[in-house]
Structure 1
Amino acid sequence: MIARTPEPPYYAVIFTSLRSETEQDYAATAERMLELAQNQPGFLGVESARGADGQGITVSYWASEEAIRAWRVQAEHRVAQQRGREEWYRAFRTRVAFVGREYGQA
């Protein structure tokens, strides 16, 4: 699904990952993180895809860098981040980008 974002400017957090073989609690935690993010001030939307090879990309959209920082340190999110580093991901990279313009077709 394509996120419905407001007119720019806003920010995008791009999380690219390679999953490990561990599945324990991953799906439930991912669902919980989405629920929490959607209730976080400044959250604008999310898009996510994962290939059969375990590579995934999730892009979350935020109103400000302050909103991103607040999400980064949210207590349950911190626990999920730690589990990701220790259990769920072989590799990952997070990038933060400023969105100055957008275009497309509905």
Structure 2
Amino acid sequence: MSGIAKTPEPPYYAVIFASQRTEGDRGYGIMADKMVELAYQQEGFLGVESARDEGLGITVSYWESLEAIKNWKEHSAHKIAQDRGKAEWYAIFSLRVCKVERHSFFEM
């Protein structure tokens, strides 16, 4: 999970997940890697971008449709990760779903 996601022409959707972690890993890194791997297998998944510093993490995942986002939210393994996130990994988080109507890319 590195670099800028190569998304198709709009419209599509972005799910923006911003978080502040609790102290310690407690399996977070392994679960995060598993969730990205699993997301790539989901119908309608277009890509992901993620960055984290000592305090704030932001992950943006891209999806073809609201239905694809709903299916991901309800995926059984993802539900386990969500529950652990609330119980162990996040001090605070926000989730925003946006429709992308325009994009542009620059590459040297």
Tell me if both proteins adopt one fold, taking TM over 0.5 as the criterion.
yes
Q: State the 1:22 CA deviation.
A: 3.0
Q: State the 1:104 CA deviation.
A: 2.2
The RMSD of aligned alpha carbons is 0.6
Report what 1:76 is aligned to: 77
Q: Which runs of 5+ in 1 are unaligned?
A: none
Give distance in 2, aligned partners of 1:32 and 1:105.
Answer: 30
Give distance in 2, aligned partners of 1:105 and 1:34.
Answer: 25
Give distance in 2, aligned partners of 1:61 and 1:94.
Answer: 13
Structure 1 segments of 4+ aligned residues over 4 angstroms from their partners: none
Report what 2:61 is aligned to: 60
Report what 1:92 is aligned to: 93
**Number of residues of Structure 1 aligned to a counterpart in Structure 2:** 105
Q: Which runs of 5+ in 2 are unaligned?
A: none
Q: State the 1:42 CA deviation.
A: 0.2
Give distance in 2, aligned partners of 1:25 and 1:62.
Answer: 26
Percent of aligned pairs sharing the same letter: 55
